[in-house]
A = this chain, B = another copy of it.
Amino acid sequence: MDAATQDELLALQTEVEEIDQQIMLLLGVRFRCTDQISAMAREQGLDAIDAPYQAEQLSSIQTMAMEAGVPSELAATILTAVLDVAAEHDRRLREQPYS
Contacts and interface: CB of A to CB of B under 8 A. Distances in A.
A24 to B, nearest CB: 4
A65 B82 CA distance: 13
In the complex this chain forms, how many copies of it are found? 2
Contact of A36 (B12, B21, B26): B12
A84 B96 CA distance: 38
Contacts of A16: 30, 33-34, 37, 57
A23 B81 CA distance: 14
A19 B30 contact: yes
Nearest to A82: B74
Contacts of A77: 81
A99 interface: no
